[in-house]
Amino acid sequence: MSEQASISQTGTETSMVEMRGVNKWYGDFHVLRDIDLTVSRGERIVICGPSGSGKSTLIRCINHLEEHQQGEIVVGGMPLTQDVKRIEQIRRRVGMVFQHFNLFPHLTVLENCCLAPMWVQKKPRREAEARAMQYLERVRIAEQAKKYPGQLSGGQQQRVAIARSLCMHPEVMLFDEPTSALDPEMIKEVLDVMVELAQEGMTMLCVTHEMGFAKTVADRVIFMDQGQIIEENAPEPFFNHPQSERTQLFLSQILGH
C-alpha cells in the first residue's frame, strides 16, 4: 500500500482515530472483541470499565504498544500496519500518558521533555528547550525543570509526563489511568491540567475512573466489559440513564460509596 493511496483512502479529515472490527488475543484469551470506535478531531472520550475489561489494551493498540490481530486501525488518516516506519510515524502524532508516569529517571525534567523533539523531530536544542519550558509552564512545573524525576512527587511527575508528550505536538492524547497511581491529594492537580487540555480542544482518549472528570469534559463515555464496548453515550444520559445492566451495576459500584 503506497503512502499516497493510504492517506487519501480514508479521506475523512474529521476522524482522528478509527477502529473497525478490532480483535486481539493474548494466547487463547480474547481481550478485545469486535471493537468499532471512531474518534473525531477535538473529541474527548472517557473509557471506563472493570479491571481486565481491555480498556488499557484498547488505547495501547492505537499507538501499537499492543498489537491487534484482526481488524483495522486508522490514525489521522494513516492505517496502522506492521511496518516499523509507519508505526513510528503514527507514534509521533499520538501522545501517551501512563499510569506509572514512566519518566526517564536518568534525565532531568527538562531533558525528559527535550529528548524526543531533539532526537525524533531533529529540532535544535535551543528550540526544543524553549518549547519544553513553554509546556512545563503550562503544567505549572517550570521551576522544577532542573530536577530529576526522583525528586518530584507523583502528581508533579505525572504533570511532567503530560508536558513531555505535548512537546511532540501530538494530534491526539491517550491517557492510560493517569491518576490511579497517585495519592488522593495529588489527583486534582493532574486532573486540572487534563481539563485545561480538553478545553483547548485536544483530542483525548482517557481510561480513567474519575467520573467527575468524565462529567466535566467528556463528549462521550464508553463502558467496556470483557473486551467489548457495552455502552457509549454522552455523559449526561450515560450516568443518569445507563441502558445495560452491567453498566448500571458498575456505576452503582464506583459511585455508590
Contact footprint for other proteins (CB under 8 A): 63, 65, 84, 88-89, 91-92, 94-96, 98, 100, 102-106, 115-116, 119-120, 148-151, 161, 164-165, 168
Smallest separation, CB 168 to other proteins (Å)? 6
For cell 464496548, what's the residue?
229
- From CA 24, how far away is CA 220, in angstroms rounded? 24
Smallest separation, CB 183 to other proteins (Å)? 12
Our CB check for other proteins shows the closer of 164 and 246 to be 164
Our CB check for other proteins shows the closer of 68 and 220 to be 68
Residue 50 grid cell: 472493570
Our CB check for other proteins shows the closer of 34 and 171 to be 171
Our CB check for other proteins shows the closer of 63 and 208 to be 63
Task: Tell me the C-alpha to C-alpha distance, in Å, between residue 17 and each of 38, 61, 93, 114.
Answer: 6, 11, 11, 27
The CA angle 116-122-126, to the nearest 5 degrees, is: 85
- From CA 58, how far away is CA 24, in angstroms rounded? 9
Smallest separation, CB 105 to other proteins (Å)? 3
Smallest separation, CB 211 to other proteins (Å)? 26
Chain-centre distance for alpha carbon 194 = 11
Smallest separation, CB 90 to other proteins (Å)? 8
Closest of 73, 14, 11 to residue 41, by C-alpha: 14
Our CB check for other proteins shows the closer of 89 and 216 to be 89
Beta-carbon count within 10 A of 185 CB: 10
Specify the 3-state DSSP secondary structure of 242.
coil
